[in-house]
Amino acid sequence: MNTNSNTYTFLYASVMVLIVAAVLSFTALQLKPRQNKNREIEKKQDILNAVGVSSTPADAEKLYDQYIVKAFTVSSEGTVKSEDKDATFKVDLKREAKKDLEERDLPVFVFNKEGVGEKMILPVRGKGMWGPLWGYIAMEKDGNTIFGATFAHQGETPGLGAEISTPAFQDQFIGKQIFNEAGKFTSIIMVKGTASGNLHQFDAVSGGTVTSKGFEAMLLDNLSSYEKFLKSSK
């Protein structure tokens, strides 16, 4: 057969594309439920991580059900919108961010464990250098002091921007405060290497300036929308 004729080339390309498309969509459909389940478990692990509860993919769901006693959504005005735990878990921050501030559903997860006490876990989401950043910040009952935090990213460079997901970076947030002494919302501001001791600053990642700036904006944008809710819960 003449493998260089136009007809053969066109046929070959079309058949190849069809086969590849079929194989890929079949795999994607088959694996989708499993992948979604993995993502859900990861989210539960992240939420638990923010309060310092480490979990494995195997026990994450059990621990989540046990320690996250309730979850609800609030509006930017601070009023409770829905108290449905599952619906709150499913709130997609990416979609919420596109709405006007007044219309957003802002999730709050309430953690309670004997000996630790009640904490409020707030999700945050923003942009890094190469893709989204997200995380969970656990607040003390005073709605001001950070009890713990966990952050993740999709595609930041290992050793540089990806450092935001290391314990060394995350632990510096413990004890920081998002309202200043006068009670004004300040978020937590990025500085270079001099943050220790200051309640309202964090150290940037060296070599990850764009990621750090995006991170700072993420804290400001997300936490500010909870401002009224946090003030009212003081």
Partner 1 sequence: MSDKEPLFSAKNRKLLTNPLGSDNPITVQVLGICSALAVTAKLEPAVVLTISVTAVLALANVIISLLRHTIPSRIRIIVQLVVIAALVILVDQVLKAFAYDVSKQLSVFVGLIITNCIIMGRLEAFALGNRPWPAFLDGIGNAAGYGIILVIVAFFRELLGSGTLYGFQVIPQAVYDMGYENNGLMILPPMALVVVGIIIWVQRSKDKSLIESN
Residues forming contacts to partner 1 in the complex (CB under 8 A) are 3-4, 8-9, 12-13, 16-17, 20, 23-24, 27-28, 31, 34-35, 38, 42, 57, 130-131, 154-155, 157-160, 206-207
Shorter beta-carbon distance to partner 1: residue 57 or 175 = 57
Least CB distance to partner 1 at residue 213 (A): 18
Least CB distance to partner 1 at residue 223 (A): 26
190 three-state secondary structure:
strand
Give the C-alpha separation, 96 to 93, whole Å.
5
Give the residues across from 134 on adjacent strands.
125, 152
Whether 104 and 73 have beta carbons less than 8 Å apart is answered as no
Per-residue CA distances from 30 to 10, 203, 225 (Å): 30, 44, 39
Angle, helices 60-67 vs 6-50, to 10°: value is 40
Least CB distance to partner 1 at residue 172 (A): 18
Shorter beta-carbon distance to partner 1: residue 139 or 164 = 164
Shorter beta-carbon distance to partner 1: residue 126 or 208 = 208
Least CB distance to partner 1 at residue 233 (A): 33
